[in-house]
């Protein structure tokens, strides 16, 4: 599958001619800014102009060539290039296909977001309400089979998209974190946090910091955050963490055990994306504790599985995407109970995507946004 490339001068108003700028993934470390045809829409489809698209850690790992995205050693490739990346997007409705207004409950000009997954609507998971585990599992920005992602001027939302309207009072930066915030809320919910729980969140990147805010709203007995970056730990304290730990200079396991009469934490949420985050948690968590795994890893992780069964009988739970959490995220942002302030640190136009990716893949940023040219219609 290839893109219809247009000459740089072949531009026009949205809904008229067609051309737009987009970052196109052709393979590992082979991303290019191109002028491509504007997506065409059919019945029950939307064309939206992108206001902002965040760069996720998974985008950085995909760009660098992580095996989990590109396959190898018998592992199938998940990414289907060429494809326009980006799943942390939101934008404005610019055009509606036949029946789309009724289908999605939106009008032209509405500010909207679509969930990152495009469910097939037919598999056993979709038909039982567990759409986020869709067997087909098309995600915006990784497979062009259904639709491209949001690192472009515009994108098409197909009929099975799960679309939500964004109130006008939510800032651009807050709207830009709705996708990762929804994932954070789902992860925290998977931890089933109780009032008397000691909760550890390992990793204070963008998702971890949003999890801190969500977990703090659950008012656990104590909320502990572990990270290597002092500035992120300071932000975690601002967001409600009671204790922060830098494992380079402090013994995290000893501190947590000291705060829990030697038992260990009740809930451990892993969002470092590093193998040490897993093994650390298995040692730190108490018997019969709840271990929640969120991270996308760039490589395989090994651990002593006897800890899970024979030694501690842990409840190990995965957390994937943000099912049924987008309305919650939008509501929390609208009420000012969660914020992007301090998390969204940089933004770049599409033309500077290389700088944006490099910064997003470093510790010099937290959340980096790509923002196409401002709307003129």
Q: Are 100 and 133 members of one domain?
A: yes
Does residue 296 lie within any of the structural domains? yes
CATH number (domain holding residue 204)? 3.40.50.720
Closest CA to 139 of 74, 80, 55, 61: 80
Rounded distance between C-alpha atoms, residue 282 and residue 293, angstroms: 11
Find the domain containing 261 and state its range: 184-318
The per-residue pLDDT for range 199-249, each reduced to its tens digit, is 999 999 999 999 999 999 999 999 999 999 999 999 999 999 999 999 999
- Residue 275: is its pLDDT beyond 80? yes
Residues 200 and 268 in one domain: yes
Q: Cα(first)–Cα(last) distance of the chain, in Å? A: 31
Residue 327 lies in a domain: no
Judgement on whether residues 59 and 157 belong to the same structural domain of the protein: yes
* Residues 143 and 38 placed together within one structural domain of the fold: yes
CATH number of the domain encompassing residue 354? 3.90.180.10
Are residues 353 and 255 both part of a single domain? no
How many domains does one find in the chain?
2
Instruction: Reply yes or no on whether the pLDDT at 291 is more than 60.
Output: yes
Are 134 and 219 within one domain?
Answer: no
As beta bridge partners, residue 117 has 139
* The pLDDT of residue 8 is above 70: no
> Does the structure show a pLDDT above 80 at 15?
no
Check whether 251 has a pLDDT greater than 60.
yes
- Do residues 263 and 312 share a domain? yes
In a domain, 273, yes or no: yes
Tens digits of residue pLDDT in 296-354: 887 788 999 999 999 999 999 999 999 999 999 999 999 999 999 999 999 999 999 99
Asked if residue 92 lies in contact with residue 375, where contact means CB atoms within 8 angstroms, the answer is yes
Estimate the crossing angle of helix 353-360 against helix 57-64, to 10 degrees.
Answer: 110
Q: In terms of domains, do 39 and 172 share one?
A: yes
Shared domain for 78 and 190, answered yes or no, is no
Residue 287 and residue 262 in one domain: yes
Instruction: Please check whether residues 65 and 148 belong to one and the same domain.
Output: yes
């Amino acid at each position: 599958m290839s893109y219809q490339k247009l000459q740089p001068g072949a531009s026009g108003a949205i809904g008229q001619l067609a051309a737009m700028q987009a970052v196109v993934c052709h393979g590992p470390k082979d991303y290019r800014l191109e002028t491509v045809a504007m997506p065409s829409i059919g019945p029950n489809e939307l064309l939206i102009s992108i206001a902002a698209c965040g760069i996720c850690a998974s985008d950085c790992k995909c760009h660098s060539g992580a095996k989990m995205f590109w396959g190898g050693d018998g592992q199938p490739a998940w990414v289907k290039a060429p494809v326009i990346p980006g799943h942390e997007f939101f934008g404005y409705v610019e055009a509606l296909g036949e029946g789309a207004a009724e289908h999605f409950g939106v009008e032209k000009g509405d500010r909207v977001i679509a969930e990152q997954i495009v469910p097939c609507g037919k598999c056993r998971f979709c038909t039982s309400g567990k759409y986020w585990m869709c067997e087909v599992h098309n995600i915006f920005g990784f497979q062009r089979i259904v639709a491209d992602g949001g690192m472009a001027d515009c994108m098409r939302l197909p009929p099975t998209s799960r679309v939500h309207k964004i109130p006008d009072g939510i800032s651009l930066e807050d709207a830009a974190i709705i996708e990762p915030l929804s994932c954070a809320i789902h992860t925290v919910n998977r931890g089933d946090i109780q009032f008397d729980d000691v909760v550890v969140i390992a990793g204070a990147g963008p998702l971890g910091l949003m999890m801190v805010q969500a977990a703090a709203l659950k008012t656990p007995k104590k909320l502990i955050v572990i990270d290597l970056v002092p500035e992120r730990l300071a932000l975690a304290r601002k967001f409600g963490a009671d204790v922060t730990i830098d494992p380079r200079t402090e013994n995290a396991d000893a501190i947590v055990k000291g705060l829990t009469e030697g038992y260990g934490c009740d809930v451990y949420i892993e969002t470092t994306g590093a193998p040490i985050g897993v093994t650390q948690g298995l040692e730190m968590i108490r018997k019969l504790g709840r271990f929640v795994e969120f991270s996308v890893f760039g490589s395989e992780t090994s651990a002593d599985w006897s800890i899970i069964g024979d030694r501690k009988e842990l409840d190990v739970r995965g957390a994937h995407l943000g099912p049924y959490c987008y309305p919650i995220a939008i509501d929390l942002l609208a009420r000012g109970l969660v914020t992007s302030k301090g998390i969204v640190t940089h933004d770049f136009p599409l033309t500077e995507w290389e700088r944006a990716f490099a910064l997003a893949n470093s510790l010099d940023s937290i959340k980096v946004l790509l923002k196409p040219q401002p709307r003129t219609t």
